[in-house]
């Protein structure tokens, strides 16, 4: 027994010495079965909402994955028109507008939309795998690149389109008001109008014209490909060649940009990790970019690197034998999009900036693998500033492992935070003494945003050549966008001047992010015009009549699968989004869902408004886009048409290499993100 006790003591001593020599070894998070307590930081309490509260599936985020020429974003929270950049985040209510340029927006690793010149799209719903896009003008191409379980609706002023499977779905809003829908690459879809729906198949074009209340259609052969189609095909080829999706979890998107900008190496502690190449010797993460204010998420990091999406919103960074490396996390876990994965602290004397901050400088450190993430956003914080929690007298290098390494800490004067770019020109270096007596910030960050904080770049938006659209136009939609509470930007900003623990009341029921919706513009009556026919409902519920014979130049009625008494829904007006939205003080009640079947959805029912995806275990074959078949309430306005035309080439973040992509998903929704395990 004495020998056993002696051997046990020697082993324990050896393990203690080994742990002290290798401080970078993985520390397991709270809830991990291998560690009941996790790594929450030394002497720092856990104050603020937990991950489940912060990561809401109805607060989706898309990203601008490519752009060239003049591209702008109309912010849904502030209403400001700002210049776009690659990797700018987009949320519900935002609009993307091209002038002489092109753009691509990724919702997840499978679904994306591309805009030609003089085009505009609006994002009326961004949830976890639920996307509703309104095409106000120009030419767009929606691409389903991989198998996906996302539910997508693309709305136009006259009809809406539901993609059914992988393929290309091009939509043209012509100057005369006609809408063209062309399907290629194996696509299959369904087009909805006020009186019914019609299928549209691969290698065909459907033209729709006439009054939005009574459209009619004609199906022809596919429209000839043009320069826009060839550019979109080149983007497909880049994405399909990408190697990086092999190494990241399904919920992580935007990893294709890592190819050509770094290499994957096998680390003994974490497995496959990505090491950036072509960076300066003193480079470190979260040191080149800017802090931008986003609705719901608050302060969000937008990096200056062309690949700076996935590594700044998912996973963890650490410094090891290869230098700085990004670890995407275990492949089998679910991840959430995060505005940044850093820890904040204040240090130094001088005049404190921000309500209740008390320090002259603010610093941040990239979180290492398994370090606890403390959100500064979420349901417990959204709506207005209610005061910061600062834990004084912490040693930063004891709390954050990356603080011990080259340029792991980035600091600046607190008064400059959120005002312009972060670069070597405004760095402030903390001394060892400063880091031993710093204050850790938990919960909301005490920095008041300004209009400058809503900009992604110092460039001004150039709207020359952009389409002219109206605020009060309407879009046809088959399903209502889910209600999302919104608080105006100015109201949030002013709350920093008078912080209170009382929550600021959010605007209720309006998913339009500040869109002003009034009575729609009138549309010409198409009755008896050159052989066009009115669409009429079928005679019986659930009975699909035969389409009218193409006896009038090939034009047919848009009918089949009719609505049952649309007027019974008080918020429904022929499927169009009108200016009857709820007032900010009167949230709109969500409609009750009906019993569902066939994989959770029936042909005449939409998913519950309280839709919440079930946790995934093993990968499985997923059916593309379950039917979206529910009457629409209100979701936003804006319309118009423009000539489409070719544009010159451009460059996106480089993508090369071989291999298949993952079928990740969820990037478009805030449940598709990472950075922390859940």
For the chain, the residue count is 678
pLDDT tens digit sequence for 45-79: 333 334 555 666 778 999 999 999 999 999 999 99
Higher pLDDT, 178 or 9: 178
Summarize pLDDT for 505-561 with one digit per residue, the tens: 334 433 333 222 323 333 333 333 433 433 334 333 333 333 334 446 666 666 665
pLDDT in tens, 437-461: 999 998 888 898 999 999 999 999 9
- The predicted model gives 467-496 an average pLDDT of 86
Domains of the chain, earliest start first = 60-238+513-536+552-568 (2.60.120.1440), 261-452 (no CATH)
Q: Of all residues in the chain, what percent are helix, strand and coil, respectively (each to 5)?
A: 15, 25, 60
Residue 208: per-residue pLDDT: 97
> pLDDT tens digits for 281-334?
999 999 999 999 999 999 999 999 999 999 999 999 999 999 999 999 999 888
Q: Which tokens hold the place of 454?
A: 């809503």
Radius of gyration of the chain (CA): 26
How far apart CA 64 and CA 86 sit, in angstroms, is 5
Count CB-CB contacts under 10 A for residue 391. Answer: 17
pLDDT at position 5: 56
Greater model confidence, 388 or 654: 388
The DSSP element (H or E) to which 15 belongs, if any, is helix 2-21
**Mean pLDDT taken over the chain:** 74
Gap between the Cα atoms of 334 and 14, Å rounded:
36
Per DSSP, the three-state class of 405 is: coil
Phi, psi of 227 (to 5 degrees): -60, -35
**Residues 420-426: contacts with CB under 8 Å, at least 24 apart:** 420/290, 420/452, 420/458, 421/289, 421/290, 421/304, 421/458, 422/287, 422/288, 422/289, 422/290, 422/291, 423/287, 423/288
Residue 378 contacts residue 53 (beta carbons within 8 Å): yes
Percent of the chain with pLDDT over 90: 51
- Residue 290 sits at the vertex; the CA angle it makes with 287 and 296, to the nearest 5 degrees, is 125
**What pLDDT is attached to residue 325?**
98
């Amino acid at each position: 027994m004495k020998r056993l006790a002696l051997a046990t003591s020697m082993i324990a001593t050896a393990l203690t010495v080994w742990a002290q020599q290798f401080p970078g070894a993985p520390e397991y998070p709270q809830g991990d079965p291998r560690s009941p307590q996790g790594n929450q930081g030394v002497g720092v309490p856990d104050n603020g909402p937990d991950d489940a509260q912060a990561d809401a599936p109805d607060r989706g985020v898309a990203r601008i994955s490519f752009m060239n020429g003049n591209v702008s974003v109309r912010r849904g929270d502030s209403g400001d028109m700002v210049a776009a950049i690659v990797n700018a985040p987009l949320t519900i209510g935002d609009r993307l507008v091209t002038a002489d340029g092109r753009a691509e927006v990724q919702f997840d690793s499978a679904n994306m939309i591309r805009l030609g010149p003089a085009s505009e799209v609006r994002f009326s719903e961004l949830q976890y795998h639920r996307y509703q896009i309104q095409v106000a003008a120009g030419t767009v191409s929606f691409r389903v690149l991989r198998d996906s379980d996302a539910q997508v609706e693309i709305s136009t002023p006259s009809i809406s389109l539901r993609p059914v499977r992988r393929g290309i779905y091009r939509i043209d809003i012509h100057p005369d008001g006609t809408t063209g829908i062309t399907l290629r690459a194996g696509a299959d879809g369904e087009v909805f109008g006020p009186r019914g729906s019609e299928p549209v198949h691969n290698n065909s074009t459907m033209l729709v014209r006439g009054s939005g209340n009574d459209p009619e259609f004609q199906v022809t052969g596919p429209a000839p490909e043009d320069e826009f189609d060839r550019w979109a095909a080149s983007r497909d080829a880049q994405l399909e060649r990408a190697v990086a999706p092999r190494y990241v979890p399904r919920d992580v998107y935007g990893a294709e940009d890592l190819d050509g900008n770094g290499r994957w190496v096998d680390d003994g502690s974490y497995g496959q990790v990505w090491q950036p190449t072509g960076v300066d010797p003193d480079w470190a993460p979260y040191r080149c970019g800017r802090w931008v204010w986003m609705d719901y998420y608050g302060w969000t990091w937008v990096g200056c690197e062309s690949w700076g999406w996935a590594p700044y919103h998912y996973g963890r960074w650490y410094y090891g034998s290869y230098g700085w490396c990004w670890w995407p996390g275990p492949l089998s876990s679910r991840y959430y999009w995060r505005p940044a994965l850093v820890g904040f602290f204040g240090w130094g004397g001088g005049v404190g900036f921000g309500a209740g901050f008390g320090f002259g400088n603010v610093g941040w450190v990239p979180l290492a693998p398994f370090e606890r993430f403390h959100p500064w956003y979420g349901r417990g914080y959204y709506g207005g500033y209610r005061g910061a929690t600062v834990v004084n007298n912490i040693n930063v290098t004891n709390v954050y492992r990356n603080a011990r390494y080259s340029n792991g800490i980035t600091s600046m004067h607190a008064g400059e935070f959120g005002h312009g770019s972060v670069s070597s020109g405004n760095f402030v270096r903390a001394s060892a003494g400063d880091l031993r007596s710093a204050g850790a910030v938990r919960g909301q960050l005490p920095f008041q945003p300004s209009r400058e904080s809503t900009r992604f770049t110092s460039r001004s938006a150039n709207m020359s050549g952009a389409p002219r659209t109206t605020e009060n136009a309407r879009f046809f939609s088959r399903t209502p966008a889910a209600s999302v509470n919104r608080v105006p930007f100015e109201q949030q900003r002013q709350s920093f001047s008078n912080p209170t623990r009382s929550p600021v009341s959010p605007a209720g029921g309006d998913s339009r992010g500040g869109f002003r919706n009034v009575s729609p513009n009138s549309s010409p009556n198409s009755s008896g015009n050159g052989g066009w026919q009115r669409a009429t409902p079928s005679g019986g519920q659930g009975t699909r009549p035969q389409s009218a014979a193409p006896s009038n130049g090939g034009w047919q009625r848009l009918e089949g699968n009719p609505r049952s008494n649309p007027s019974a829904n008080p918020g429904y007006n022929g499927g169009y989004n009108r200016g009857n939205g709820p007032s900010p003080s009167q949230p709109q009640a969500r409609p009750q869902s009906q019993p569902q079947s066939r994989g959770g959805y029936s042909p005449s029912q939409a998913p519950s408004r309280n839709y919440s995806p079930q946790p995934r275990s093993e990968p499985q074959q997923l059916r593309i886009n379950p039917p979206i078949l529910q009457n629409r309430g209100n979701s936003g306005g804006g319309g118009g048409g423009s000539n489409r035309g070719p544009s010159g080439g451009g460059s996106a973040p480089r993508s090369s290499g071989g291999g298949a992509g993952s079928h990740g998903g969820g990037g478009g929704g805030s449940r598709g993100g990472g950075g922390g395990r859940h």
